[in-house]
Structure 1
């Protein structure tokens, strides 16, 4: 009987050990595969990184859509008038006469003057304005310079050349100025990779809006003609 009792005790201990091993094995098998967790974590991290690196194209002023560029509807602009610093929101305007768009400040209006010429003028005084002419890429620049100098010669015999603004838009521009009888006329012949352009600015001694006109002019962007 004692032998039988010992045998039953050993058998019971052995069964308990087997049961414990099975439980430990089941516990370790529960949940997802550790390798799968690492892959999911890495994937989530990459997704989070991609989302954090995405940038709203509108923050850069333009949105690419295929071969075309969509401009945002407004942008802040700083400028000076008669030495007074100002900051306002300019709004996108499209020329109905030439293939371009630009940002125009609230105190000014853009309108067609004649074929291939637009005028951006001060709303309260249309004698203060900027004439905008888009030129063909194969324009004869020597002739344009001669005609421009002759035009300014009607204001004053003393037509002076001047340095172009430091902005990249005006880099290499040919600038001529003339003053007479309270009138201040400036011409900017601009040629860069994007467009060729002639700007003629008409200001007055008591109403000098040249810097405002130049700030708006540098936002001019050539557009494809509408079909």
Structure 2
């Protein structure tokens, strides 16, 4: 029951704050589409060779983690991502997808992408912290600074991340820039954070289609 209340607080805070930023709400009742459009299975090499499939290469340090990941395109947003087996990408509404753990739908990562414009990054970081605060019944988020646990790779810059603890798990927010795109990830994981590493590693492969 507590997890459901937390998710309701997060959803309410996100809807209010994003509507102030001009989010299109005309399609908010749109049926959820399940499963992104999958590409071919990507057998990621574990040596130093680059992946040559016409897309940005998987970050060198993550090739073992992302072995057998599948290149998948979002149905509603202009990006592709490498997905590990047992994870499913669904579109909630325009501008917002969820990456679920199969069989554990309460554990997921929300993905939002926006075009890079003046002020957008700072707004998303501020909004992210408000969402985390709402999810934890008012507790202040703790900033994450360990670079090894944050997204990295070609063209990724200006990464900001924070985390809060709740009674049922952890909620982590990450905002980063990649080229002309800004990506915001919101991770809902268990107290042991079994999936946080995988979420981050998949998240850092997000690139424009």
What TM bracket, shorter-length normalisation?
0.5 to 0.7
- Equivalence for 1:215: 201
Q: Distance in 1 between matches of 2:158 and 2:78?
A: 23
TM-score, structure 1 normalization: 0.59
CA distance in 2, matches of 1:152, 1:102: 24
TM-score w.r.t. the length of structure 2 is 0.64
Q: Distance in 2 between matches of 1:164 and 1:197?
A: 19
Q: 1:163 to 1:71 in 2, by over 3 A?
A: closer
TM-superposition CA deviations, 1:55-79 (whole Å, max 9, x none): xxxx63234xxxxx4579xxx8434
Q: Which residue of structure 2 aligns with residue 154 of structure 1? A: 134
Matching residue of 1:16: none
Give the equivalent residue in structure 2 for 1:111: 90
**Equivalent residue for 2:169?**
183
2:175 counterpart SS class:
strand
CA RMSD of aligned residues (A): 2.5
**Contact 1:152–1:159 (CA under 8 A) maintained in structure 2:** yes
- Please name the residue that 2:52 is paired with: 62
Change (3 A) 1:62 1:153: same
SS at match of 1:173: strand
CA 1:101–1:92: 2 relative to 1, 3 Å: same
Matched with 2:185 is: 199
Match of 1:168 in 2: 153
Gaps of 5+ in 1: 1-58, 64-68, 80-86
Query: SS of the residue aligned with 1:145?
Result: helix
The structural deviation recorded for 1:211 is: 0.2
Mapping of residues 1-227 of structure 1, within 5 Å: 60-63=50-53, 69=54, 77-79=63-65, 88-138=67-117, 140-156=120-136, 157-163=139-145, 165-166=147-148, 167-168=152-153, 171-206=157-192, 208-223=194-209
Unaligned residue ranges in structure 2 (runs of 5+) = 1-48
| Equivalence for 1:3 | none
Distance 1:222 1:191 in 2: 12
Structure 1's consecutive aligned runs of 4 or more residues displaced over 2 angstroms after TM superposition are 69-72, 76-79, 139-143, 164-172, 192-195
